[in-house]
Amino acid sequence: MADPADVQAREVNFVAEVLIETQNLTKLYGRGSSVIRALDGVDLSINQGEFVAVVGASGSGKSTLMNMLGGLDKPDGGDIAIAGQSLSHMSKRALAHFRNETIGFVFQQFQLLPKKSALTNVRLPMQYRRPRLDNESERARGSLERVGLADRTHHKPTELSGGQQQRVAIARALVGEPNLLLADEPTGALDSKTSTDVMELLVELNQQGITIVLITHDKEVADYAGRVITMRDGKIVEDHKQGTPA
Amino acid sequence: MRMPGLTTLKLAMGSLLERPFRTVLTMLGIVIGVAAVFAMLSIGEGSRQKILENIDSVEARTISIFPNWANGRASQRRAWRPFTEQDVLDIQAIPGVEAATGDLSAEYSIVSETSDWRANVIGVDPQYLKTNDLRIQRGDPITETEIERRETVAVIGQSVVRSLFRGQDPMGERIKIQNIPFKVIGIVAETDAQNWRGQDSNNFVLIPRPTGRARLFGDDRLVRNQVRSIRIVGEDQSALSRIEREIDFIMRRSRGLTADEAPDFRIFNFSANRQAVAETQRTLSLLLATMGAVSLIVGGVGVMNIMLVSVTERTREIGLRMAIGARGSDILGQFLTEALLLSIISGLLGLGLGYAVSQVSLGTDEIEMVFSTRIALLSFGSALLVGVVFGFLPAQRASRLNPIEALRHE
């Protein structure tokens, strides 16, 4: 079995392939005079293998953008395409399939099933994969190994530290070999030491070729990314590349 | 089902086992409902089969007639008039009558060499055994010969054998009734017939009716040729109502009553009586089945309630599952399976409970129950139906959650 990370890394090295493309992406909340433009004509292009941080104050539209990228919400205007698939006109079913195959989610609150073991939690996305993948247990174990938790497979979330829980969640996001890892304030519930560990893990995964988009309001967290997009009032106000930290 | 069934089933089982106490409480309503429906359908089936299997029995073909009893004051238009031997002969002559017998009896003390015992002494004719569905176990019945000769012979029932002879062989023994010796010539086999007065139906001594009339019952007000009541057995059940009409005609004629006068006798049609009893039992079982259905509905509402709670509690889990690729139909399937599993287990427990309870009540009651696969499946099916119907709303609610909001749910 070819390591998908290798394949992706090669693609990054030779062709800067576009993974995410949005055009005039618009999302409105409310109606009439009190309508709020959560996204106001966002044009964005993210290449395969990038590590992008989306920053902005709350209400800036970064969460809405995140939901759009994850196929959890549909735009009211414009278009969004991920890995060559346009999401704007996909059915709910197709979106569910898309999320399962293409996206790996990491949430601020981890969102682990509290009474299930780490292994069971990591296996969860494969339950909804069609056709089913082979060697589900092996894949789940491999994924936990990748985040450094090979020795915690049978621990329940309550028996793990916050940092370990988030790493289980990252392993769960990786298990389906997604094109894109979406992290929503992944360190928001962690202390600074643990945050550093988790961010270093994400950087490491990115170096293995995984495309990561994370949203945060924390400048220090954003500094781990190779590209920082700043949002305000539903618009991108700044977009700059930066060198990866030492 | 898109998600392989086994995974869904494991998922549902797991979530039920996570909250065992709540699961048991939720199941209770359905368990009781299914048990009730099962037991009551069994009673209904029992009464139905009772009618069917007895349709050709002697009892189901029996008609009895009784004269009206005179009250102390002469308020009745006619005084009490007993039937006569001639009435019995006339009724025996009706086409379709298999046998008919008159009853002339009184309770006496029966005395043997060593003991004494009170029993019903019945003066019989040769058709008595047939009309009462009795069978000679040993010895001989009372025939025309003994009756014509007014012999002092007796045929005794099992209770008399047990209580008076206590293990000794009664055949050929002498017993005394009112100091008159009778020779035991036969023993009647045990009968389980219901006595309409609730008396022991095996506690009797049969003697030739003329013998009894001349030597025992003579002291009574009964005069020659009279009998207390007449019992008639028809050849088959369909002829009974015609026989009943002919009896009415004959009796009116013999008693000088016109067709529009009120009769001074009563006709009891056992099969009609029995059908009425069965009808009552059916109504009862229908009523109880309705109660079972109500219990099922209440149980179903309980299932719905607990499933709604479960959906609310697991909103974030549902949101997560949807985010990582579960479709609405997967979530629907998951919760519907959970509700179904709940009702399947409840249904099985209910069948068990229904059977256990009916076994206990069978020991104490006259209620006839018949268990069949059809009834079990019907009761079990009602539980499944409840699971699907009441599980659907919560499952649908879960499947329609917005994953973004569900993930934010506290």
DSSP letter for each residue of A107-137: -TT----TTS-HHHHHHHHHHT-SSPPS-HH
Q: Do A128 and B328 touch (CB under 8 A)?
A: no
pLDDT at B375 (0 to 100):
87
Maximum alpha-carbon separation in chain A: 57
Q: Total domain count for chain B?
A: 2
pLDDT confidence of residue B393: 93
Q: Give the residue among A108, A112, A121, A103 at the shortest CA–CA distance from A213.
A: A103
Q: How confident is the model at residue B77 (pLDDT cuts 50, 70, 90)?
A: very low
Tell me: the pLDDT tens digits for B340-383? 999 999 999 999 998 888 777 665 556 667 778 888 898 899 88
Predicted local distance difference test score (pLDDT) of residue B392: 94
Closest by Cβ to B323, choosing from A105, A127, A130 = A105
| pLDDT tens-digit map of A60-112 | 999 999 999 999 999 999 999 998 899 988 999 999 999 999 999 999 999 99
User: Nearest by CB to A92, which of B7, B317, B328?
Assistant: B328
Q: What does the pLDDT average to over A156-171? A: 95
User: Mean per-residue pLDDT for B75-84?
Assistant: 60
Q: Is residue B69 part of a domain?
A: no
State the pLDDT at residue B360.
Answer: 76
We report the CATH number of the domain holding residue A219 as: 3.40.50.300
Tell me, yes or no, whether B220 and B308 share the same domain. no
In chain A, the residue whose alpha carbon lies closest to the alpha carbon of B403 is A72
State pLDDT tens for residues B365-375: 566 677 788 88
Statement: residue B312 has pLDDT above 70: yes
pLDDT at position B410, please? 77
The answer as to whether B77 is a domain residue is: no
Mutation site, A29, A98, A124, interface B, largest B CB count within 10 A: A124
The alpha carbon of residue B339 is apart from the nearest alpha carbon of chain A, in Å, by 20
Closest listed residue to residue B105, CA positions, set B2, B197, B235: B197
Assigned domain for B70 exists: no
Q: In this structure, is residue B194 part of a structural domain?
A: yes
Euclidean distance between CA atoms A92 and A160, whole angstroms: 35
At B54 the pLDDT is 66
Residues of chain B contacting A113 with CB distance shorter than 8 Å:
317, 320
**Token pair in block for residue B138:** 């040993």
Residue A38 counted as domain residue = no
Domain range enclosing A99:
50-74+91-241
Both tokens of B395, joined, read 């499952």
Band (B19; pLDDT cuts 50, 70, 90): confident
Q: Is the pLDDT of residue B220 over 80?
A: no
Contact A132 B2 (CB under 8 A): no
The reply to whether A8 falls in a domain is no
State the pLDDT at residue B219.
53
Q: What is the pLDDT of residues B388-407, one digit of tens each?
A: 999 999 999 999 999 999 99
Task: Tell me the helix, strand and coil percentages in chain A, rounded to 5.
Answer: 40, 25, 35
Q: Which residues of B touch A96 (CB under 8 A)?
A: 322, 325-328, 330
Tokens encoding B78: 């006619």
Q: Is residue A39 part of a domain?
A: no
Looking at chain A, the whole-number percentage of residues with pLDDT higher than 70 is: 92
Please tell me whether residues B403 and B290 are part of one structural domain: yes
Q: Which spans in B54-100 are helix H? A: 85-92
Average pLDDT over residues B72-88: 65
- The H or E element that residue A22 is part of is strand A18-29
**Which of B18, B326, B404 is closest, CB to CB, to A128?**
B326
**In the structure, what pLDDT confidence band is assigned to residue B80 with cuts at 50, 70 and 90?**
low
pLDDT in tens, B134-192: 999 999 999 999 999 989 999 999 999 998 988 888 999 999 999 999 999 999 998 87
Determine the pLDDT at residue B141.
94
Contact (CB<8Å) A124/B18? no
Domain boundary among B263, B298, B316: B263
User: Measured between CB atoms, which of A72, A97, A128 is closest to B3?
Assistant: A128
Q: What's the pLDDT at B59?
A: 78
Domain boundary among B236, B263, B290: B263
Q: Which residue has the higher pLDDT, B363 or A155?
A: A155
Distance CA A48, CA A58 (A): 27
Burial (0-12, 13-18, 19+ Cβ within 10 Å), A70: buried
Does a structural domain hold residue A196?
yes
Whole-angstrom distance, CA of residue B190 vs CA of residue B267: 27
Domain with B297, as residue range(s), is: 5-53+275-408
CB burial of residue B79 (10 Å; 0-12, 13-18, 19+): exposed
Domain membership of residue A217 (yes or no) is: yes
Which among A239, A241, A223, A219 is positioned nearest to A231, based on CA atoms? A239
Cis peptide before B181 (omega within 30 of 0): no
Nearest to B316 among A111, A128, A130 (CB): A111
B228 shares its domain with B129: yes
Instruction: Kindly report the pTM of this predicted structure.
Output: 0.69
Q: Which residues of A touch B4 (CB under 8 A)?
A: 132
A15: confidence class by pLDDT, cuts 50, 70, 90: low
In a domain, B68, yes or no: no
Residues B134 and B281 in one domain: no
| Overall domain count for chain A | 1
First to last CA, chain B: 30
Query: Are residues B239 and B121 part of one domain?
Result: yes
Same domain, B255 and B289: no
- Mean residue pLDDT of chain B comes to 85
Residues of A in contact with B319 (CB under 8 A): 111
pLDDT of residue B197: 61
Q: How far apart are CA B331 and CA B342, in angstroms?
A: 17
Which residues of chain A approach chain B closer than 8 Å at the C-beta?
Answer: 67, 70, 72-73, 92-93, 96-97, 99-101, 105, 107, 111, 113, 115, 124-125, 127-130, 132, 172, 176
Q: Same domain, yes or no, for B168 and B247?
A: yes
Chain-chain contact of A172 with B324 (C-beta, under 8 angstroms) = yes
pLDDT at position A10: 47
User: B93 lies in a domain?
Assistant: yes
- Residue B395: inside a domain: yes
Q: Are residues B249 and B102 in the same domain?
A: yes
Residue A21 lies in a domain: no
Find which of B327, B329, B332 to mutate to test the A interface (most A CBs within 10 Å of its CB). Answer: B327
Do the domain assignments include residue A30?
no
Q: What is the rounded distance in angstroms from the CA atom of residue B383 to the CA atom of residue B351? A: 10
At which of B263, B288, B307 does a domain end?
Answer: B263
A97 within some domain: yes
